[in-house]
Structure 1
Amino acid sequence: MDEQLFWARQLQSLGLAGNPLPAKKVTAAALAKGIRTVLDSKTIRDNAKQASQLMQANDGIARAVQLLEMQF
């Protein structure tokens, strides 16, 4: 499995994305439909807001700086 498909499936499993589109077979129409599905999905929108709030609460930048400083 390629990396993009792996991450697409991870996002889908978290409720943050629609069905993955195989890069070698995707058409413009399928891509447009996939984008429209995500934009029209209240569930995906709500899940994205919740994920954003969780990431902001974790203060990942401060933690990354802390881990880097511990190395030097």
Structure 2
Amino acid sequence: MEKVFYNFISNSIKFSKSGGEVSVSLSLRGDSFVLIKIKDNGKGISKSTYLIFSIDFIKLKVQTLANLKEPELD
């Protein structure tokens, strides 16, 4: 995940307009999730590329949830 966020932030900086701004925000969503937003003033991501990112994140989330184990009670 670190590499994914690094790439998003790096690309935001790389493709922002001169004198632009990149912002990163985090907010809690319930007890188990964090919403991370990376925003810039660049040209943005095409809809088809955005869809690929969304599908990859959904797969990652499903795989992560599938690998979680119930906590063991002592």
Report the structure, 1 or 2, having the larger helix content: 1
Same fold (TM over 0.5): no
| TM-score, structure 1 as length reference | 0.41
| TM-score, structure 2 as length reference | 0.41
